[in-house]
Amino acid sequence: SRRRHTRCLSDWSSDVCSSDLAAGGDYTILVHGTVDDPRVTVLTDLNRLPTVATNAKVRLIHAASDLSASGMSLTVNYSAMASNVAFGSASTYSEVASSTNSIIDVTNPLALSSVYTASAVTLSAGAVYTVFILMGTKGPVGLLRRER
């Protein structure tokens, strides 16, 4: 038998309750927006292994409120992985060949240069990664996290 426990996160725009989360599911609870207009979004994760054993999986989450009017795009080794990812959402996972010398680049049409660039990145075979674009005190910042 399944038991459900309900706990809620509340903000000015929504309620996210644990009863909305399936047992055994993988989720990212994204708190984003501004101090005056915070938002909570539940994103479903798909942390399954890549279909090709030598690949890694990568996705992009756009949480940069200063650039909320337009989508973000992600390239890995100059190949498009995601485009026009809306504020407060995640791209689908894309598979990329594993490498010890990858280049990750995130762009936004409102920014004058890349929002996030990282070189000599190791993307391990069988791993799952998320690139978060968040707001820092001096503008957008990128954060690469291995999920699996």
Tell me which H or E stretch contains 121. Answer: strand 116-123
Residue 4 DSSP symbol: -
pLDDT digits (tens, 9 = 90+) for 87-96: 999 999 999 9
Helix (H, G, I), strand (E, B) or coil at 66: helix
Mean residue pLDDT of the chain comes to 87
| Tokens describing residue 53 | 């054993």
Q: What is the pLDDT of residue 100?
A: 97
pTM of the predicted model as reported, rounded to 2 decimal places: 0.85
Beta strand residue intervals within 1-148, DSSP E: 8-10, 15-17, 27-33, 38-44, 55-63, 72-76, 79-85, 89-90, 94-97, 99-107, 116-123, 128-136, 139-146
